[in-house]
Amino acid sequence: MPALDLAWIRSQFPALAQTVGSHPAIFFDGPGGTQVPQRVIDAISDYLIHSNANTHGAFATSARSDATITEAHAAMADLLGCDPDEIVFGPNMTTLTFAMSRAIGRELSTGDEIVVTRLDHDANVAPWRALEERGVVVRAADIDVEDCTLDMNDLARQITPRTKLVAIGYASNAVGTINDVAEVTRMAHAVGALSYVDAVHYAPHGPIDVRAIDCDFLACSPYKFFAPHMGALYGKREHLTRLQPYKVRPAATQTPDRWETGTKNHEGMAGVTAAIEYLAELGQKTGATGDRRAALLAAMTTIQAYERGLIKTLIAGLLEVPGLTFYGIREPECFAQRTPTVSVRIEGHTPRELAKYLGEHGIFTWDGNYYALSLTERLGVEDSGGMLRIGLAHYNTAAEVDMLLAALGEIAV
Ligand SMILES: Cc1ncc(COP(=O)(O)O)c(C=O)c1O
């Protein structure tokens, strides 16, 4: 596996040079949103200087805006492995998923069932629970609390001949567990149900191939993979053309435009293209030849391998910290089943106190439930501050992991 050029990578992200007092800033808050390369900032500025207009006008800046939108769809399609008209952009994954649940709900009737999981972020739960007011029954698949993996037997029990949709996370934004989304999609299709994959947490950590998964929908959030604050959704063309969105009458009737209601975030889309170009260049630097899709697959595979190295150091170190409770997969032989996102608690300190202490030392982590509410409730930590989440990205280093472990070692004793 080719090595990542960490010096080049870090030089691309101006935010990484920040300090907190005398401490270098260490960004372990990636699952909440990642930093952006300089070219993303430049692309946004460039759009606002040279292309700022609404769409489909008879003048230059409007034509450039149309081109910006077309390029962003093509770039996202290369990242996910689909066609550009199967990509829908929106403000964020949550809003896109509510829009899609409203549209899918139009096809459902009383007694139809939807399966969600207890591992998931609420953005892939609440939009489906909202359909309960139409008489839809929502069933939740359980987890194995020992290692925070999905209980596949329970999932199989929850899927019935009445199931119309299975909502599944690609990876948990709290404990990093990666689900076998291709298998879950197969289980959904076996009863004629759709699969709706939440890839928000997984997207910055590995390659995605929606055709290989065969999912019907896959949602992600570019701001978690080095782009601006936006959401993006893949939908199989047959669904995006069949389902009826709630839209204004003069808006386009063709897909994907009819799903992108109102004026779009053009500068955000310029930034998304630039972030994907950054990843493609990273892939080329690892030796990839061929088109942008091939470069992106190479980039994400190399990132995955690099991050697995960091996970080993991080988890081995955490398990040595006195009084630490670790939630999730901890055996090195199972690390292919997790992202570099871990959640812990340390006896005698609330997760908030830990995050605050680390923050004062320039180390940015999250505390609470990060909207993975069903999980924190299932683990019994919701009423006592949730967990401390440490989320690594490919721009993090082994030295930063060591600094985190040293800081936790100090507060734990
Ligand atoms: C796994 C997961 N799903 C969904 C979301 C919601 O994404 P958005 O903020 O784009 O609505 C998040 C955000 O943290 C997430 O981590």
In the structure, which protein residues have their CB atom closer than 6 angstroms to any atom of ligand 1? Answer: 31, 92-94, 121, 123, 169, 173, 198, 200-201, 221, 231
For residue 171, which atom of ligand 1 is closest to its CA?
1
Residues 200 and 330: their CA atoms lie apart, in Å, by 22
pLDDT tens-digit map of 280-299? 999 999 999 999 999 999 99
For residue 31, which atom of ligand 1 is closest to its CA?
16
Residues 214 and 80: their CA atoms lie apart, in Å, by 12
Q: 210 alpha carbon to ligand 1 midpoint, in Å?
A: 19
For residue 123, which atom of ligand 1 is closest to its CA?
4
pLDDT tens-digit map of 120-175? 999 999 999 999 999 999 999 999 999 999 999 999 999 999 999 999 999 999 99
Residue 182: the pLDDT is 98
- Angle between helix 292-318 and helix 60-80 axes, rounded to 10 deg: 60
Q: Residue length, the chain?
A: 413
**Rounded alpha-carbon distances, angstroms, from residue 91 to 96, 196, 368:** 7, 18, 24
Residue 2: the pLDDT is 72
Sign of CA dihedral 407, 408, 411, 413: negative
**Is 384 within 8 Å of 350 (Cβ atoms)?**
yes
pLDDT tier at 1 (50, 70, 90 boundaries)? Answer: low
Q: 219 alpha carbon to ligand 1 midpoint, in Å?
A: 9
Q: 49 alpha carbon to ligand 1 midpoint, in Å?
A: 30
For residue 97, which atom of ligand 1 is closest to its CA?
11
Q: Is the pLDDT of residue 236 over 70?
A: yes
Ligand 1 atom 14: the closest Cα is on which residue?
32
Give 261: exposed, middle or buried? Use CB within 10 Å, 0-12, 13-18, 19+: middle
DSSP string, 174-231: TT-BBP-HHHHHHHHHHTT-EEEEE-TTTGGGS---HHHHT-SEEEE-GGGTTS-S-E
Q: List the one residue out of 250, 201, 167, 251 whose CA is nearest residue 392.
A: 201
For residue 201, which atom of ligand 1 is closest to its CA?
1
Helix (H) or strand (E) holding 138: strand 137-141
Residues 100 and 215: their CA atoms lie apart, in Å, by 15
Residues 239 and 255: their CA atoms lie apart, in Å, by 10
pLDDT tier at 314 (50, 70, 90 boundaries)? Answer: very high
* pTM attached to this predicted model: 0.98
Q: 124 alpha carbon to ligand 1 midpoint, in Å?
A: 9
Residue 306: the pLDDT is 97
Ligand 1 atom 12: the closest Cα is on which residue?
200
User: In degrees, to the nearest 5, what angle opens at C-alpha 10 toward C-alphas 6 and 16?
Assistant: 140
For residue 95, which atom of ligand 1 is closest to its CA?
11
Q: 172 alpha carbon to ligand 1 midpoint, in Å?
A: 10
pLDDT tens-digit map of 24-81? 999 999 999 999 999 999 999 999 999 999 999 999 999 999 999 999 999 999 999 9
Residue 413: the pLDDT is 74
Q: 119 alpha carbon to ligand 1 midpoint, in Å?
A: 13
Q: 122 alpha carbon to ligand 1 midpoint, in Å?
A: 8
